[in-house]
Amino acid sequence: MGKKYMRKIEKKEKRKYTTNEVKRYLGILAEDFESKVKAIAEQYLDIKNDIKKMKKTLDLHSRLLDSHSRLLESHSRILDSHSRILNSHTEMIASIQETLEIMKVDIQFIKSGLKKKVDLEEFQTLEKRVALLEAKIRIKP
């Protein structure tokens, strides 16, 4: 198609619009604009409500975390106390074990010494026999 033909078509399209057509067109544009603004406003309110809900949830979680932190601190103090007590008991047990080892050695020493000694009854019996023998020896001279 030629350039002349294209220019004719362009001239027809450049016709003048009447005032009513312009008003109608602007009304349509205004309605379209208002509907889009209304949709955006509704989305904004939904987002704002969602943010409020999330903030409440985060506040609740923050309080819960604070509570758990305090509980953990308390448990840490208790564990520290138990660790100190356990260390003290470990030291006492080591001391008792050392004392028991010494006592074992002493008991073994006493036990082996008792095998060589006599008890009180045997000693008294021996004492009587010695006394009798001494008495007999004195008589014979």
| CA triple 101-103-109, angle to 5 deg | 110
Q: Is the pLDDT of residue 90 over 80?
A: yes
**pLDDT computed for residue 126 by the predictor:** 86
Which residue stretches of 1-18 are H helix? 3-13
What residues contact 2, with CB distance under 8 A and at least 6 apart?
A: none
Structure tokens at 30: 């205004």
The length of the chain, given as a count of residues: 141
Question: Comparing 39-48, 52-61, 121-130, which segment has the lowest mean pLDDT?
Answer: 121-130
What confidence tens digit (pLDDT) does each residue in 45-81 have?
A: 999 999 999 999 999 999 999 999 999 999 999 999 9
Name the amino acid, one letter, at 50.
D
C-alpha 120: how far from chain center: 68
Is residue 15's pLDDT more than 70? no
